[in-house]
Amino acid sequence: MPKKKILIIYTGGTLGMGYKIRGDENSPLIPLDWSEIQNSIHIFSHEGYFVKEKGIEFTFHKFNEAIDSSDINPLHWIKILEIIEDNYFNHDGFIIIHGTDTMAYTASFLSFAIQNLTKPIVLTGSQLPVLHSRTDAIQNLSNAIHIAASDLFGIKNIPEVLICFNDKLMRGNRATKSSSRDFSGFETPSFKLLGDLNEPIKINEDLILPIPDGKFETHKKYDTGIIVITLFPGFDYKYFDTIAEDKNIKAIILRTYGNGNAPTDSNFINCLKNLVNCGKLLFNISQCIEGEVLTEKYNTGKKIDECGVISCKNMTLEAAITKLIWLIGNIEINLIKFAFTKNLKGELY
């Protein structure tokens, strides 16, 4: 009997890429067949430490076609949810191998869509392919296994959707991709790491979400009828008129300045009021990587507050977007404002 059963879900991404011309790391990257990737990852082998010494049984589920994560869409999120559902009760933990570009979006959406999670779901990947001479893939996968099979390594069970990357353990809906070249890759602005995976492993146990009592289930509906607008000096407000008339757009996220500040001229304010009167939901998120929306701090923030714009506080953009995609798909539109301002899965404090 295995001591732990871990499901590896392979979606694609840089980790599983290979060079079109074998041995030439300057040639274009192309997706490799999963069998070739698996054979290159010795930590999955029967003679490897995790299987032979720790008694972990790995099972694998690959997407029919490996995906560059820039092509990820909500249908892929639903597929991941279905795979987890089908395997939830006969596995102890889950590792999702995913491209880095949209990893934080996927982690955030899964965190909202999965209810009453009692097991770790760990997303990881790499900045360099597994066959690269300096790959970071093996270290990231090894760390992810330690978290997915936590009690075998004396680590507290973490019943969350997580991102494990370059010795950092992060809450999935608190992470954002910070670099396309640094092995660190991700940060959790305005929030602490859940764990430091250096030597020794240190978990911030006081930050871990409690194990829920309810029945495990997933809510798979979604609605992508939102738009993100970045304000800049000279932004032409006439575009708001087009948005107001588009019935497919249900919510607008405004990327404002600093603590949530925006222009105070009457044309801008009237445009916001018109959008609200047309039934659109408006949200305020800062363009700053770190910090939060504090609209009471400056008059420029209070003005849009008075229009009925909802604060994203210190959420990441990825969390705000996916939270809305999930909320609009699953609850009545008149309840979204209240639900959005609630801390559902540790994304908001």
- 50 three-state secondary structure: helix
Distance CA 167, CA 184 (A): 8
Please state the separation of Cα 268 from the chain's center in Å. Answer: 32
DSSP for 169-221?
EEEGGG-EE--SSSTT-EE-TTS--SEE-SSS-EE-GGGSPPPP-S--EE---
Amino acid at 257: Y
- Residue 110 structure tokens: 């899964």
Residue 19 parent element (H or E): strand 17-19
The single-letter DSSP state of residue 32 is: P
* 93 closest CA partner among 6, 173, 1: 6
Q: How far apart, in Å, do the first and last CA atoms of the chain sit?
A: 42
Q: Where are the alpha helices (DSSP H) in the chain?
A: 34-40, 74-87, 103-113, 137-148, 239-245, 266-277, 299-305, 317-330, 336-340
Residue in the structure block whose two tokens are 């049984």: 57
* 231 closest CA partner among 240, 222, 241: 240
Amino acid at 99: G
Distance CA 278, CA 260 (A): 23
Distance CA 218, CA 232 (A): 39
The catalytic residues are 14
